[in-house]
Amino acid sequence: MKKHSFYCVSVLPIAFILTACQAPPKPIKPFSLTIAHINDHHSHLDEEQTILKFDLGQGPENIKINRGGMARVATMMKQIEQKDPNVIKIHAGDAITGDLYFNLTQGLADAAAINQMCFDGFTLGNHEFDAKDAGLKILIDAFKQSHCKTPMQILSANVTFGASSALYQTNTVQKSMVIARQGQKIGIVGITIAGKTKNASQPNADTLFADEVITAQAEIDRLKAQGINKIILQTHVGYERDLKIAAQLSDVDVIIGGDSHTLLGPEQLKAVGFNPVADYPTVVNNKQGEKVCIAQAWQYNYAIGELNVSFDPKGNVLDCGGTAHILLGTEMQRIQSNRPLTASQKQKIQQQVAKMQSPLRFIQPDLHMQQVLQPYQLKKKTYVETVVGTANEAFCSQARPTKQPKENCLTYGGDIQQLVAYAMLQQAKKYFAADLSIQNGGGVRIEIPQGPINVATVYQLLPFKNTLMQLTMTGHEVKATLEDAIDGANTDIGAYPYTAGLRWEVNMKNPKGHRVEKLTFKNTQGQYQSFDLNRTYQVATIDFLARGSNYYTTLTTIQGERRKDIGVDYADIFLNYLKDLKQQQSTAFLTRLPHSEYSTQKYISP
């Protein structure tokens, strides 16, 4: 081996001699980090089925295939961790609401699954507040039962819990956290969508949400002052909002998001039936012109994101890449023949997927996760299989009317939204002399297909923890409420009102406050007459709206003896409606209401 000699000139100053004798410094390698993340799983713990297009030799055809499930997420998470020692695991919020697991266990099933994954950070989403602050505390307390060496941190920099909250001064929710990986410190800041959480979920009245951008920058600045130069925002504000936030912030490097259920991925996913919105990751610039990597992992445990980021010594992003892995099973069936695929046909599809170099992954469920979920699955299975009614025809769902009725909808607006409002009025009459009901379209979540209706369907239809309220209101207040909601639907389409016992026409070309026209009220004889704005009416609604949520501002003015909480869960209201129908008919047959009973009789777009 050839030896290298260093010569020092003794006549030169000692300081120069010492410098000249040193070997040249080694270049500093970039620091690489992997972020594994999910978001918006909404209690979808089981695998589900979807239809994708694959070619078995005669051109693309529809193939039914299993996908998702928390057990597949667990398997993929382990594979990601095995590849890289520098992994941070993030859940970007909305773990609950959307499946009967939440309704039956108040989130305990979701917590049990999340605890097995040992996430580093969890962002509070808007739906974490669906059962009020007390419900959130139940979920957080369940998270504390984890076996993980490092407890998962619950993050939201912009929430302040009021004195009435079960989480007041508990310090269980932090603004940010600092994680060390191979001697490098990474700051992570949590941000919850403010307006949507306050107006479309159920936080306590004195629990407040500050501006997302101002709060994020303040927390980033605090971390930077501590010498932390790699900053991740763990947000639940939506993909489009993430893009805007990135451009308004300094010193942010990565945004891992949720809320908008956005699928990010390559164009080739369209060939099999997916519709990615943009690339994974999406690379934009922050306020200083530096790179920001933005990622989201779709919804319902269908995907898990793997974001790979490299940083220079100053903490700036050099590059980022990765994949939102879409998790598929190997149970497949041809739609045309209604037969399972043979082993050779499955292999052909797997070869097509490999050739595509797409994010599709055939993943086996994790056995340990399946064992953890088994007792919750048995509880769910026993309850949900009870058939409570039959739909004689399909009921379409549409939160807000459009210029033309949605395909398969009977008229303006959703058929099932209208039926829920009708069922509420009928059931409310058992508790008080209800004249009319008000239900927001977004509180009714799914379509009802033709055929049997079981308990699971009802709880998927009405998944939130809403209860029946009695409000004593004047006609002027009722009209003002409708005007509030219709205007709010321009921001959140789920605000659009549906009523029973009341009809109107909407002209969106009119200014705010003058869009509801030709109001008519159904009297005790079953006839519609002019709505008396000066009369007092007994209104059935849900506590969510009665608090002014989802832009139902006028309802907050109904106080004192004019407001009574009946306390019946709104899913139970619909179950009781079906029960009454069964007693009348021997079987609860559901048929769409006639056009004359729809609250929106005419809708003129702006």
pLDDT grade for 200, boundaries at 50, 70 and 90 = confident
Is 348 within the bounds of a domain?
no
CA distance 349 to 341: 10
Range of the domain at 225: 31-46+75-328
Among the candidates 328, 359, 374, a domain finishes at 328
**Per-residue pLDDT at 13 exceeds 70:** no
Which pair of structure tokens corresponds to residue 273?
């039936």
Checking if the pLDDT of 410 tops 80, the result is no
Does 108 fall in a domain?
Answer: yes
24 confidence band (pLDDT: 50, 70, 90): low
Are 188 and 110 part of one and the same domain? yes
Residue 179 pLDDT > 80: yes
Give the CATH number for residue 533. Answer: 3.90.780.10
Instruction: Tell me, yes or no, whether 373 lies in a domain.
Output: no
Three-state DSSP class for residue 163: coil
> What's the mean pLDDT in 265-270?
95
Instruction: Say whether both 271 and 396 belong to one domain.
Output: no
For 96, which DSSP code? S
Cα separation, 367 vs 301, whole angstroms: 16
Q: Does any domain span residue 558?
A: yes
Secondary structure percentages of the chain, helix, strand, coil, to 5: 30, 30, 40
Which run of H or of E encompasses 174?
strand 173-174
Mapping DSSP to helix (H, G, I), strand (E, B) and coil, where does residue 217 land? helix
392 and 322 within one domain: no
Same domain, 158 and 225: yes
Q: Where are the beta strands (DSSP E) in 244-376?
A: 254-257, 282-285, 291-296, 303-311, 317-334, 339-340, 360-362
Count structural domains, the chain.
Answer: 2
Higher pLDDT, 586 or 334: 334
Mean pLDDT lowest for which of 29-33, 281-285, 332-336? Answer: 332-336
Q: Judge whether residue 463 has pLDDT over 60.
A: yes
Q: What is the pLDDT of residues 70-125, one digit of tens each?
A: 999 999 999 999 998 899 999 999 999 888 899 889 999 999 999 999 999 999 99
Considering 328, 350, 368, which residue would you say is the last residue of a domain? 328
Please name the residue that has the structure tokens 């499946």.
Answer: 99
Query: What sign does the dihedral 261-45-256-267 (CA atoms) show?
Result: negative
**Helical ranges in 29-107 per DSSP H:** 70-83, 100-105
CA distance 271 to 287: 37
Query: Where is average pLDDT lowest: 227-231, 400-404, 463-467, 586-590?
Result: 400-404
User: Taking the chain, what is the end-to-end CA distance rounded to the nearest angstrom?
Assistant: 83
Residue 199 forms part of a structural domain:
yes
Higher local confidence (pLDDT), 336 or 39: 39
Rg (CA), the chain: 28
In sequence order, the 6+-apart residues with CB closer than 8 A to the CB of 253 are: 230, 231, 232, 290, 291, 292, 293, 309, 311, 315, 316, 317
**Inside any domain, residue 407:** yes
Same-domain check for residues 239 and 308: yes
Task: Indicate whether 324 and 412 sit together in one domain.
Answer: no
For residues 564-587, give the mean pLDDT.
88
CB-based contacts of 89: which residues, under 8 Å, 6+ apart? 35, 36, 37, 77, 117, 118, 119, 120, 121
Tens of pLDDT along 546-563? 999 999 999 999 998 899
Please check whether residues 303 and 425 belong to one and the same domain: no
pLDDT value at residue 6:
35
Q: In terms of domains, do 290 and 424 share one?
A: no
Alpha-carbon gap, residue 283 to 254, rounded angstroms: 9
The answer to whether position 70 is within a domain reads: no
Please tell me the predicted confidence (pLDDT) of residue 87. 98
Question: Residues 131-175: pLDDT tens digits?
Answer: 999 999 999 999 999 999 999 999 999 999 999 999 999 999 999
Q: Is the pLDDT of residue 442 over 90?
A: yes
| Average pLDDT taken over every residue of the chain | 92
pLDDT band for position 31 (cuts 50, 70, 90): very high
Same-domain check for residues 444 and 315: no
Is 552 within a domain?
A: yes
322 and 391 fall within a common domain: no
Amino acid at 506: V
CATH number for the domain spanning 243: value is 3.60.21.10
Residue 15 has pLDDT above 70, yes or no: no
Q: Are 161 and 229 in contact (CB under 8 A)?
A: no
| Tokens encoding 81 | 């961790």
Residues 423 and 550 in one domain: yes
Is the confidence at residue 235, as pLDDT, over 90? yes
Residues 151 and 295 in one domain: yes
Residue 431 has pLDDT above 60, yes or no: yes
